[in-house]
Amino acid sequence: MTIHEANQKLLSQLDSIYEHREAVAISDLVMENITKQKKTERIIHKNIILSGAEELLFEKYSAELMNHRPLQYVLHEAWFSGLKLYVDERVLIPRPETEELVNWLIEDASDFRDQTADISILDIGTGSGCIPIVLKKKLPQATIYSCDISQDALDVARKNASMHGTDINFILSDFLNANNRNLLPRFDYIISNPPYVPVSSKKKMSEHVVAYEPPLALFVHDNNPLIFYEALADFVIEKPRIKTKIFAELHEDFSDPVKQLFFSKGFASVEIKKDLHGKNRMIKATMLL
């Protein structure tokens, strides 16, 4: 099977479960991964026959993709803020909205770059480690802690942190447990992409997400969808600094309730930010002593 034949075969298969434009993008990434050639090189060498090892990999990837396994898990790689990360089913696939959240915090923390090296950040629910790794790259003077309830997720995060040479303090901790929260120090910034999708919404979601991504990192019970935001607020109240800020992703349907929750807990200002698609997806809450 030539490079061209393999690409056409995969594209034909993917067209049955993806929109054509997405199928083309996935096919290109798979063929680049297998052949280690960019698209222009593959066009020039389109009649080169795949090696036995390459053909086996092609068949493996094709079968996994046709079972709706996300491309990032198939290739074990995802890109976040220009950095390539290792991912598998133990962690969520990093999303562009999370990049927007991280950039918002970095912009807010820009004053610290010239004023002091004493800036501390806590990331809650680290997953792949995408958030703390990028923060450490952009704010190298910051002391960064990152916690997760999943040891498997922390293993992936540590792998990525090591790959990118970033010094991050990873902690195994259930942040919803007040006793665990009390063991953490005070921080200038708290950032989190917590679980916020109600379980009842699962039936509306793509099979690629529901069947493969870790439910612990996605879903909350319908009867208490704001549980993580309440824990975030309580942590800042329990561990106050002169000016502590929370940056968090949220469900667009719960932006107003989350905003009101922070105000009810005594936060001085709360700002909702839209993502690139115009949806209310991020919140910044500031606590002043």
Q: Per the confidence metrics, is the pTM higher than 0.85?
A: yes
Q: Quick one: average pLDDT of 103-111?
A: 90
**pLDDT value at 114 more than 60:** no
With a CB cutoff of 8 Å and minimum separation 6, the contacts of 116 are 141
Beta bridge partners of 121: 144, 189
- With bands split at pLDDT 50, 70 and 90, how would you rate the model's confidence at 205? confident
Chain-centre distance for alpha carbon 117: 26
pLDDT score recorded for residue 112: 60
Q: What is the mean pLDDT of residues 50-72?
A: 96
70, pLDDT greater than 90? yes
Measured distance CA(56)–CA(34) in Å, rounded: 10
Tokens of 198: 């109600």
Residue at token pair 């075969």: 9
Q: Tens of pLDDT along 141-163?
A: 999 999 999 999 999 999 999 99
Place of tokens 């922070």: 262
91, 235, 251, 266, 283 from 263: Cα distances, Å: 32, 15, 18, 5, 12
Backbone dihedral angles phi then psi of residue 219, each to the nearest 5 degrees:
-105, 150
pLDDT at residue 206 tops 90 = no
Measured at the CA of 242, the angle between CA 236 and CA 266, to 5 degrees, comes to: 50
Q: So where are the chain's domains?
A: 3-67, 78-288
**pLDDT tens digit string along 215-235?**
999 999 999 999 999 999 999
Into which CATH architecture does domain 78-288 fall? 3-Layer(aba) Sandwich (3.40)
* pLDDT recorded at residue 2: 96
132 touches 168 (CB < 8 A): yes
